A and B are shown apart, each in its own frame.
Chain A
Amino acid sequence: MAADIGAAEGNQRYRSGVIPYKKMGYWDPDYEPRGTDVIALFRVTPQKGVDPEEAAAAVAGESSTATWTVVWTDRLTACEVYRAKAYRVDQVPNTEDQYFTYIAYDLDLFEPGSIANLTASIIGNVFGFKAIRALRLEDMRIPVAYLKTFQGPATGIVVERERLDKFGRPLLGATTKPKLGLSGRNYGRVVYEALKGGLDFVKDDENINSQPFMHWRDRFLFCMEAVNKASAATGEVKGHYLNVTAGTMDHMIERAEFAKDLGSIIVMIDLVVGYTAIQTMAKWARDNDMILHLHRAGNSTYSRQKNHGMNFRVICKWMRMAGVDHLHAGTVVGKLEGDPHMTAGFYDVLRESYVPQNLEHGIFFDQEWASLNKVMPVASGGIHAGQMHQLLHYLGEDVVMQFGGGTIGHPMGIQAGATANRVALEAMVLARNEGRDIMAEGPDILKQAAKGCKPLQSALDTWKDVTFNYESTDTADFVPVETPSM
């Protein structure tokens, strides 16, 4: 077998100097991945003239045990086991120089329960490697044996709903606007109006931490006054995601503890705090009965372009393992990047117990989630009440829909904006459950609901058919093709 693929053996393999990665044993087309292997799928763009299999072997090598030259100290280890194996290379459909490369890693290459350790290998040095022009991590298959070393979402969709006593419909939220500049007192006003009007949550934006115009304690105190007052006014559990993102881990914990002392049910952090900080906060959240919201600030710097970086679906997987309860995952119809098929894939990764391979949705592997809690996806950015039928159709009911501008920008005020969204939502869920075709009848259902709700009528008039129809950059490589009938 070894002779067929050109891997060197014995003293040939360990003679000092430089030999191709393929010959070092990082390419093995006959390798059958084991159930306990971590599998990564990369999109590799080799430098001109570099053989795709050699490029694949190089990626396997650099993301596991290899260095640029032969080292005899490999022979002090069970090196065949520790070497990652590139075992399959497929040309990407409709491209000339890109290759989907499947690489299997033995479980013992990774520290249990550490996203930092997993990522240091998989997206570490290898992304700067000269022999490849561009590299993108498209998907991963995480074995159950490894998943079971992670806590998973602190609360999960099921328990979050039970704590909130809210079932059968998407949750509603909004981000306080303007995102920067409000004083604590004025900020709390927006929170109170939106919650009293009918939203379940209001949210700090990703970059509201502790600035000269509003220090964090001031924000927390005024927001909790708003949350409790709105709860008393409606008889519902309400929440505000208090952003505890800070410069050091100690400060984050200090802020989270204060939020807990004030009776908040939820805190939030930004993706930019890093994987270890996220896992630390997830453990804190589990220990303190807190829901943990994650804003995906920063992800588009590496997830948006197709040939380099990583796909957002991998972030979804890592974040479910790391243990967050909420993650922004796209709206399909809003202002931010999001192809409907790709977005469906992200939502499946976050919410399902088992996700089968689905190339149209960008899902390359069957993934068993081994009873890790479900993450609530968050749809936020440029959405409004007039799109309610599309939102419910594409995103389902286990999602937080966040209407920031669509609430606060309402011509009749913030409470009215919130009421418009809530009425539109409940009317649409009612109609869907009655078996009506909401994609076809949606605008009509909204029009009927607006007859008894002036704020909804006003929202529909204001935003009419506002959509953001730009082409997505991150789209599926596989599209269904009709087979001609014979």
Chain B
Amino acid sequence: MRITQGTFSFLPDLTDEQIKKQVKYCIDRGWAVNIEYTDDPHPRNTYWEMWDLPMFDLKDPAGVMLEINACREACPNHYIRVSGFDATRGWETVRLSFIVNRPPHEPGFRLERTEVKGRHIRYGVQPYATDKPEGER
């Protein structure tokens, strides 16, 4: 399967040229670009690991591309996402977030149903990727 988190997951994987244009879009708006990676694609896994701090002062998309490629090299089997953070009052949040690297195999999720009472079912979504402990994946 292919997880479809992020702004452009329904399109073919973006080329570096396309990624660079999106990075430029963020920088032109004064947003800080941030790179994060994880091997746990649970839809509510908010806190992916940070590849260093958000690049508040980096104004050159080429510099961001260097960081993305360094992260890809270090974590080739992880999901990597690039996001643009807008510190403007009233927003102070992520304004764009898209995946730039995926593991070669995406095993997907197990839907766990627990019958509670009557017809009420409690649902849980478990990534197969996290079946092993964090250090052994």
Question: Which A residues form the contact surface with B (CB < 8 A)?
Answer: 158, 161-162, 165, 167-169, 198, 221, 224-225, 228-229, 231-237, 261-263, 353, 371, 374, 419, 422-423, 426-427, 429-430, 433-435, 449, 452
Please judge, given known A-B contacts A158-B92, A434-B21, whether A168 and B4 are in contact too, CB under 8 Å. Answer: no
Please judge, given known A-B contacts A228-B123, A261-B120, whether A235 and B43 are in contact too, CB under 8 Å. Answer: yes
Q: Do A263 and B97 touch across chains, with their CB atoms under 8 A apart?
A: no
Chain B residue with Cβ nearest A228: B123
Number of interface residues, chain B, beta carbon within 8 A: 43
Q: What are the residues of chain A within 8 A of B46 when measuring CB–CB?
A: 162, 165
Q: Do B90 and A234 touch across chains, with their CB atoms under 8 A apart?
A: no
Q: Do A426 and B96 touch across chains, with their CB atoms under 8 A apart?
A: no
Q: Do B111 and A371 touch across chains, with their CB atoms under 8 A apart?
A: no
Please judge, given known A-B contacts A225-B121, A235-B43, whether A371 and B90 are in contact too, CB under 8 Å. Answer: yes
Q: What are the residues of chain B within 8 A of A263 when measuring CB–CB?
A: 122-123
CB distance from A255 to the nearest CB of B (A): 14
Chain B residue with Cβ nearest A352: B90
Of A158, A198, A229, A231, the residue contacting B93 (CB under 8 A) is: A158
Question: Which B residues form the contact surface with A (CB < 8 A)?
Answer: 1, 3-5, 7-12, 14, 18, 21-22, 25, 41-44, 46, 83-84, 89-98, 108-111, 119-123, 125, 127
CB distance from B48 to the nearest CB of A (A): 10
Q: Do B95 and A168 touch across chains, with their CB atoms under 8 A apart?
A: yes
Chain A residue with Cβ nearest B1: A233
A-B contact pairs, 6 of them (CB 8 A): A158-B93, A237-B43, A353-B90, A371-B90, A430-B18, A434-B18
User: How many residue pairs between the two chains, A and B, have CB atoms under 8 Å in the bound complex?
Assistant: 108
Q: What are the residues of chain B within 8 A of A426 when measuring CB–CB?
A: 7-11
Of A162, A167, A228, the residue contacting B125 (CB under 8 A) is: A228
CB distance from B129 to the nearest CB of A (A): 10
Q: Do A169 and B5 touch across chains, with their CB atoms under 8 A apart?
A: no
CB distance from A445 to the nearest CB of B (A): 12
Q: Do B109 and A232 touch across chains, with their CB atoms under 8 A apart?
A: yes
Q: Do B11 and A168 touch across chains, with their CB atoms under 8 A apart?
A: no
A-B pairs, top 9 by smallest CB distance, nearest first, are A235-B3, A168-B96, A228-B123, A232-B111, A433-B25, A168-B7, A232-B109, A353-B90, A167-B97
Q: Do A353 and B5 touch across chains, with their CB atoms under 8 A apart?
A: no
Q: Do B108 and A235 touch across chains, with their CB atoms under 8 A apart?
A: yes
Q: Do B21 and A452 touch across chains, with their CB atoms under 8 A apart?
A: no
CB distance from A158 to the nearest CB of B (A): 5
Q: What are the residues of chain B within 8 A of A158 when measuring CB–CB?
A: 90-93
Of B3, B10, B109, B122, the residue contacting A419 (CB under 8 A) is: B10
Q: Do A430 and B8 touch across chains, with their CB atoms under 8 A apart?
A: yes
Q: Do A162 and B10 touch across chains, with their CB atoms under 8 A apart?
A: no
Q: What are the residues of chain B within 8 A of A224 when measuring CB–CB?
A: 121, 123
Of A167, A235, A374, the residue contacting B7 (CB under 8 A) is: A167
Of B8, B18, B43, B94, the residue contacting A231 (CB under 8 A) is: B43
- How long is the Cα–Cα vector from A417 to B92 in the complex, in angstroms? 34
- How long is the Cα–Cα vector from A231 to B42 in the complex, in angstroms? 10
Q: What are the residues of chain B within 8 A of A161 when measuring CB–CB?
A: 93-94
| A165, A262, A263, most chain B CB atoms within 10 A | A165
Q: Do A167 and B90 touch across chains, with their CB atoms under 8 A apart?
A: no
Q: What are the residues of chain B within 8 A of A232 when measuring CB–CB?
A: 108-111, 125
Q: What are the residues of chain B within 8 A of A198 when measuring CB–CB?
A: 4, 10
- How long is the Cα–Cα vector from A449 to B12 in the complex, in angstroms? 10
- How long is the Cα–Cα vector from A79 to B3 in the complex, in angstroms? 66
Of A221, A427, A434, A435, the residue contacting B119 (CB under 8 A) is: A221
CB distance from A145 to the nearest CB of B (A): 20
Q: What are the residues of chain A within 8 A of B109 when measuring CB–CB?
A: 231-233, 235
- How long is the Cα–Cα vector from A426 to B93 in the complex, in angstroms? 20
Q: Do A167 and B95 touch across chains, with their CB atoms under 8 A apart?
A: yes
- How long is the Cα–Cα vector from A232 to B126 in the complex, in angstroms? 8
Q: What are the residues of chain A within 8 A of B3 when measuring CB–CB?
A: 234-236
Of A165, A234, A262, the residue contacting B120 (CB under 8 A) is: A262
CB distance from B87 to the nearest CB of A (A): 12
Q: What are the residues of chain B within 8 A of A423 when measuring CB–CB?
A: 10-11
- How long is the Cα–Cα vector from A261 to B125 in the complex, in angstroms? 17
Please judge, given known A-B contacts A426-B7, A434-B21, A434-B25, whether A168 and B123 are in contact too, CB under 8 Å. Answer: no
- How long is the Cα–Cα vector from A234 to B110 in the complex, in angstroms? 11
Q: What are the residues of chain A within 8 A of B83 when measuring CB–CB?
A: 167
